[in-house]
Structure 1
Amino acid sequence: MATPSLQDGIDKAGSPVKLLWKPNAEPWTPEVVEREYAGWRQEQTAWHESVAILNLSHHMFDMFIEGPDATRLLSDVGANNFENFAVGQAKQYIPVTTDGNIVTDGILARDGENRYTLSGIPAAQHWVQYHGEKGGYDVTFVTDPSSAFRKGGDPKLFRFQIQGPLAGDLVERAFGGPLPPTKFFHSSPVTLDGMHFHALRHGMAGQAGYEFIGEWQHSEAVQEALLRAGEPFGLVRVGALAYTTPSVESGWVPSPVPGIYSDPALLDYRKHIPLFGIEGQRPLGGSFFSENIEDYYCSPYELGYGKAISFNHDFIGRDALQRAAKDAVLRKKVTLVFDPDDVRKALGDDPGFVLSYSRNRVETDSGLVGMTCQSATLDPVGTILSLTLIDQEYAAPGTEVSVVWGEHPGHGTDPGADLGFPRIRATVQATPFNQHARTLYRRNA
C-alpha cells in the first residue's frame, strides 16, 4: 500500500487549511528531555542571571549533504550568499518558493569543501532533497530524524548549549582556558579530556554562549564534564518546557507555515513528500482563522532575513524576492508584551507555564492588524511575550494593541465572528526583545 502523500491528505480533507486546522493542539516539546529539572522559572532565570545548559540533541532533524554538487544544489535552492561561506561557518538557510514565500529556515553548517549539515524543522531538508534528486545533482543525503521520529537508536550528534552571563567562565574552567576567538555563528575545533568536537559561538536568548557539537559516543562524557565545571557557578539544567522559550526573546519564529500548499506548479512536490511529516501534521490553530492557506505564508523579509539574502546567484524564488526587495515590507516582526493584569483575568491568577504556537488575531480600534506566531511565559519579564507579524504602521515600539486569545473552531464559522474570546492588551516592542541580542550579540559577526 502506497504511503499517503501531502497532496493525498489535502485532497481528502478538502483544502490545506481543513487538513491542518487543529484547535487546542498541544504544543510539541522534546519528550526525551525531562520537562523540568529545577523548575521552568528557575531555568529561565539561569540564562539571564547565571548560566544554563540546554540539551539540543533530540529535537532537531539533521540532514548530512555531501558530494561534488552539494554547494551548487544548496545555492540553487537557497537565497543565501555562498561565495564566502567558510568551512566551520553556519548560516540561517533561506529556501523560498517561486512566489518568494519561505519554505522554512534551517541552520546550515559547512563541514567541509563539499559537506554540509542542515539542521532544524525538516521542511527545508525535504525541499533540498527533492530538488537534489529531481535535478540529478551529484550529491548524497543522510537524514537523522529527531528523537521523537527516530525508530530506535541514538542521535548521530550531541548538542549542548552553555548560555548565560557566566558561560565564558564555565567554558574556561572546563577547557582550562578560553577557547579560540571565534566569530558569531562560526565554530572552532576543541578538545576536552581527549574528546574532539566543535564549539559553535551561538546562543538563543542573546546571552554569551557556545553550542558544543560532536559524535554521540562522547555525549555522556562531555555533558558530565560541563556539569562538573558548572558546579561553582550554579549551572542549571534546562528542561523541555523552558527550552522552547528562548526563541521568543531572540526573535526567531520557529515554525513559519511553508509556502508550498497552493501553487499548482508544486503539485508534484506535494505528491512526493509524505502526509505524516511536518508539512502535513504541524497543526494550525488560534483566533486568526482563514480558509486561504496563503494568509499564513510569510516572506523572509517579514521574518527579518533580508540582510542574509544575496542576488549574486540564480536560485528558486530570486525574481520574486527581487520584486519584494523594492517594495515596502507590509508586515514586520515585533515582540508583544502582554499586560500582566489582563493575562491573569484571561488565564487565571496563576497561569503557570504558557506556550502557544497559535496564530492569534492582533487588533486595534481599526480592526485586524497582525497575527501572533509564538507566545510564551517569560518569568524574568513577568508576563507573556509573543513573536508577532504586524502591519508596518503599528510596528513602532510603544504601540498599544490587543490580542484575541482563543481557538477558532475552523471551517463553518465566520473567520471574523466575535466568539467572546478574551482580549489581552499588549505593547509592541522591538525584536529581539532581549537588548543584548538586539545590540551587542552580533557585533563580531
Structure 2
Amino acid sequence: MSDLKRTPLRDFHAAHGARLVDFAGWEMPVQYRSILEEHKAVRRTAGLFDVSHMGEVDVRGPEAGRFLNHLVTNDVAKLFPGRVLYSPMCYPSGGVVDDLLVYMRGADDYFLCINAGNIDKDLAWIREQAARFNVTITDRCADYALLAIQGPKAAAIVQSLSGAKLGLVKYYHFSEATVAGVHCIASRTGYTGEDGFELYHAAGDAVALATALLAAGQPHGLELAGLGARDSLRLEAGYPLYGHEITADISPLTAGLGWTVKLDKGADFIGRAALVEEKQKGGANKVVFFKTGDRRIVRADTPVLGAAGTPVGRVLSGTLSPLLNEAIGSALVESVHAAAPLAVDIRGTRLALQIVKPPFVELKKV
C-alpha cells in the first residue's frame, strides 16, 4: 500500500492496532478491535473517527454566495455565518456529482467539505462552473485534518477539553474553538445519526488532538472507530453514500433526498430543469431501504426480485445491523414495483425484503 495517500494519523492508527485498507486511494483504518463493538460504542457512548481524507475547498469573493446557490440544489441563501448546509451538487442531467457540506464563515467567505474519492473530479467541476463568477476557489485539502467524535457522550468529551461553550453550538452549526490546545472549527455534524462534533484543524496538530480526545474519552467508553463501523452506522441512519445511493445516474429525487432540492429557491441551479421534469413526471426508479429478518448480508449488486420472481432492481448497499442483529440495506428498484413484494436470492434461499423508512434504529435527537 506504499502508493496510497496517508492522513497525518496513519502511524497513530497502526500503533493502536488498526487494520488498514485501501479506501478511495487512501490507506485508512477499517477497524481496530471489532466493527461490531466500535458500532455499539458510537450508539451507546462515543467513537472517534479519522476522516482527514475528506476534502476541503475555500470559496471566496463578492459572488461566492450566488455562485454556490447556482452550484448546489439546496438553498445557500438561507445560510448565515456559523451555519452548515448539506446539499447534493448535480450535473445538468440531474445526476449527482457529489454530496457535500457548505459552511458559511462570512458574507463572501464559505468553505466546502467534499468526499475523498471525488476530490479531483469535484475541484475540476467547481472550477469549471465558477469561471463566470467573481469568486476564488482554493484547494485546502492538504492543510486540514478532520476528526469526528460521535455518540451520546461525544459532546461532553469534547467540552472537557475546551473552554468554549460548545453546548451553544446547535445541530448543523459550527464555531471556532480551542480543543486540547488545538485551534479547531468545531462543527456539530456527523455521519452516524448521533450527536457529536467534526473537528477541522491543522494537519500538523492531528496526532496531539487525537491522543487528547482518546485519553479524555476512554473513561467514558469511547472507542477508536474505523470505516467499517462508519458504514454500518450511516446505513442504520439511512444516510446516502456517494457511489451507492447517489451517483451520476441516481438523482437526489430518486434517492429520496427531495428535501435538499429547492426547485423554487429563486435561483437557477445546475440540474434544475431535469429535476423539475423528474418531479412532474415521476422517476423511473426509486431508492428504498430494507431489512430481511435474517443475518446473512445482502451484498451490493444483488438482483432484487419482484412478485413474479424476475429482476426489478439491484441492491446498492448492504450490511449487518449490530443493534437489530439482522441484515439491512438499500436498493434501486423500478418505481412501479417499489410498493410490491420484493425479495432477494441468497445462495438459493429466497429472502423477503421488508421495506423500512429509515432510520432503522431510534437515534438520539440533538
Cα 1:177–1:130 shift into 2, 3 Å? closer
Which whole-Å deviations, capped at 9, do the CAs of 1:298-350 have from their partners, x for residues lacking one? 22112222222222111222222223333445544332213426x2xxxxxxx
User: What is the match of residue 307 of structure 2?
Assistant: 365
Larger strand proportion, structure 1 or 2? Answer: 2
Shift of 1:392: 4.7
| Distance in 2, Cα, partners of 1:379 & 1:65 | 40
Q: Indicate if the aligned counterparts of 1:361 and 1:368 stay in contact, CA closer than 8 A.
A: yes
Deviation, 1:394, is 5.3
| CA distance 1:316–1:35, shift in 2 (3 Å) | closer
State the secondary structure of the residue aligned to 2:171.
coil
Q: Residue 27 of structure 1: CA displacement?
A: 8.1
CA-to-aligned-CA distance 1:337-385 (integer Å, 9 cap, x gap): 13426x2xxxxxxxxxx795x3332112233333222222332322332
Residue 48 of structure 1: aligned partner: 43
Alignment of 1:165-204 (within 5 A): 165-175=152-162, 179-204=166-191
Q: Deviation per CA, 1:101-139, whole angstroms, max 9, x where unpaired? A: 222322222233323322223344332222223x3x333
Give distance in 1, aligned partners of 2:319 and 2:158: 29
**CA offsets, 1:169-188, max 9 Å, x none?**
32333336861422321112
- Kept in 2, the 8 Å contact 1:53–1:235? The answer is yes
Query: How far 1:57 moved relative to its partner?
Result: 0.9
Amino acid at match of 2:139: T
Native 8 Å contact 2:298 2:315 kept in 1:
no
Match of 1:110?
A: 104
Identity of aligned residues (%): 23
> What is the deviation of 1:216?
1.8
| 1:57 aligns to 2:52 (yes or no) | yes
Cα 1:107/1:177, change in 2 over 3 Å: closer
Matching residue of 1:143: 139
1:195-251 per-residue CA deviation (whole Å, 9 max, x = no partner) reads: 321211123222221111222232222212211211221110002332333221222
Alignment-derived partner of residue 436 in structure 1: 363
- Tell me how large the CA RMSD over aligned residues is: 2.9
Equivalent-residue separation in structure 2 for 1:91 and 1:199 (angstroms): 15
Amino acid at match of 2:88: I
Which of 304, 314, 325 is 2:268 aligned to? 314
Q: 2:342 aligns with which of 401, 414, 419?
A: 401
Structure 2 counterpart of 1:385: 328
Partner of 1:129: 127
Letter of the 1:336 counterpart: F
The answer to whether the 8 Å contact 2:41/2:223 transfers is yes
Aligned residue for 2:68, secondary structure, equals: helix
SS at match of 1:161: strand
Q: How does 1:230-309 map to 2 (within 5 A)?
A: 230-256=217-243, 258-259=247-248, 297-309=249-261
| Structure 2 Cα separation of the partners of residues 359 and 125 of structure 1 | 29
Q: 2:92 aligns with which of 88, 98, 104?
A: 98
Q: Which has the larger radius of gyration?
A: 1
Match for residue 205 of structure 1 among 170, 186, 192:
192
* Distance in 1 of aligned mates of 2:25 and 2:93: 33
Q: Any gaps of 5 or more consecutive residues in structure 1?
A: 1-25, 146-154, 260-296, 344-353, 406-419
Alignment check: 8 A CA contact 1:31 1:240 kept: no
Question: Aligned equivalents of 1:47 and 1:158: distance in 2?
Answer: 21
- Aligned with 2:217: secondary structure? helix
- Aligned partners of 1:47 and 1:193: how far apart in 2? 21
Q: Distance in 2 between matches of 1:110 and 1:235?
A: 31
Any conservation in 1 of the 2:301–2:314 contact (CA below 8 Å)?
A: yes
- The structure-2 alpha-carbon separation of the partners of 1:91 and 1:68, relative to structure 1 and needing over 3 Å to count, comes to same
Equivalent-residue separation in structure 1 for 2:190 and 2:279 (angstroms): 29
Between Structure 1 and Structure 2, how many residues are aligned?
337
Q: TM-score, normalised by structure 2?
A: 0.81
CA apart distance, 1:258: 4.4
The 2-side partners of 1:183 and 1:395 are apart by: 36
Q: Deviations over 1:67-86 (max 9, x none)?
A: 33322222223222122212
SS at match of 1:371: strand
SS in 1 for 2:86: strand
Pairwise CA distance, 1:30: 7.2
Aligned equivalents of 1:220, 1:51: Cα separation in 2? 19
Contact 2:73 2:269 in 1 (8 A): yes
1:52 is displaced (CA, Å) by 0.9
Q: Distance in 2 between matches of 1:402 and 1:193?
A: 51
Work out whether residues 192 and 230 of structure 2, in 8 Å CA contact, stay in contact via their aligned partners in 1. no
TM-score of the two chains, using structure 1 as the length reference? 0.67
Higher relative contact order (CA 8 A, sep 6+): 1
CA distance in 2, matches of 1:160, 1:195: 12
**1:369-419 deviations in Å (ceiling 9; x for gaps):** 3322222233232233212233456556xx7522356xxxxxxxxxxxxxx
Could you tell me whether the CA contact under 8 Å between 2:76 and 2:85 is conserved in 1? no
Indicate if the aligned counterparts of 1:74 and 1:128 stay in contact, CA closer than 8 A: no
